Amino acid sequence: MSDPTPNPLDGVRVVDVSSFLAGPFCTTQLAEFGAEVFKLELPVVGDPLRKFGSVTECGETLPWLSECRNKKSATLDLRKPEGAELLKRMVRDADVLVENFQPGTMEKWGLGWEVLREVNPRLIMVRISGFGQTGPYRGRPGFGRIGNAFGGLSFLAGYPDRPPVTPGSATIPDYLAGLYGALGTLLAMQAREKTGRGQVVDIGLYEPIFRILDELAPSYQLNGYIRQRMGPGTVNVVPHSHYPTQDGRWIAIACTSDKIFARLAEAMGVPEYAEGGKWETLAQREAERAIVDEYVSDWTSTMTRDEAIATCEKFQVPCGPVYAIDEIFEDPQYKARENIKWMKDPRVGELAIPNLVPRLSETPGEVKWLGPSMGAHNDEVYRDWLRLDEAEIERLTSLRVI
């Protein structure tokens, strides 16, 4: 019988002292592809993510069960000197440490970068905070909502005559920061292969948001253009929005070029509007954005959503349904790609969670278990890894160090 396919990060040991979402999502991605992640939580209290979101019958929340999968949980109070010393012992044997406290917190506990790299020069330390480790705002607390706002995304979300709205989810910056944290970890590991040294990966929650806003920065610098809220519309391209259908649903249509609009015009039965017509070029359509969008809306409103999608696909016009979560569960594309992972857990029974991304053909990674119960792996950490004897474990437990 052949050996099971190894995961890309088999043998990588990660210590996760972060909380809530950004740091934990970073380590979850590493754990999904083979890293051994030890999630350290404050004794008795635990990670705040355990209390955030919908609470299940077992007392754990859905975000905890889904977003802290594949990790091993142990309790440790880093604020106490004995707890700090135990962390240093772990760091000696670790590849990566992830934290997302306010800058200066780890230093206050005697666990800053300068200390930890003396313990282990090969350590990679991922530091995610509201505004990063430097700058005049470094000490400010930050959550995802603040990252959306400070990063420039919230200002663009909504309609021009109404206040800015939440751009889909207040936690987008947490997930993106976690994603960049995982990317930074892999880059730092690659560099370590060449230099033998670890380094710090430093991310502010707002920075991934600012990074993904396409031409927002260069357009302002070159042209003084301050993009405003456009509802479902998109700057620089028309029609490129959400359009109503006869059955009370919505379809997304994206005409990103004149050629694609020509195909849409043919689908709508007005090819003369494109080639040589009044809306042939983007500039012409941009000048009459509201009229173009209204025309497309009137057309899509004559069909059900499925009919509109079928017509667009016939003419090779990029389109898609604007889905609610119940429709996602029924969609055959999601089923074929196994984008929803069904997990069985003794605490909650069967639970549906988002599956792994990205999809690797040879070393695909896996979800082994959902977010663990608090302290479920204390014995593995303190007895098996750090070789503490029973008397010492009992003493540290009584002092609530672990």
What's the rounded Cα separation, in Å, for the pair 273 and 150?
Answer: 41
Distant-in-sequence contacts of 61-65, Cβ < 8 A, 24+ apart: 62/351, 63/21, 64/371, 65/345, 65/348, 65/351, 65/353, 65/370, 65/371
Cα-only R_g, the chain: 25
Q: Which amino acid is at 11?
A: G
What's the rounded Cα separation, in Å, for the pair 77 and 86?
Answer: 10
Query: Parallel, antiparallel, or unpaired for β 96-99 and 13-16?
Result: parallel
CB 185 within 8 A of CB 34: no
> DSSP string of 240-279?
EEEEE-TTS-EEEEE--SHHHHHHHHHHTT-GGGTTTSTT
Name the nearest CA neighbour of 133 among 85, 184, 167: 184
> DSSP string of 47-68?
-GGGGSS-B-TTS-BHHHHHHT
Can 174 be counted among the known catalytic residues?
A: yes
Both tokens of residue 397?
């437990």
Q: Which residue of the set 95, 174, 202, 293 is catalytic?
A: 174
Helices (H), ranges, 268-345: 282-287, 289-300, 305-314, 325-330, 332-337
φ/ψ of residue 148, rounded to 5:
-60, -45
Contacts of 182 (CB under 8 A, 6+ apart): 26, 29, 30
3-state secondary structure of 8: coil
Q: Tell me 234's DSSP state.
A: B
Active site residues: 174
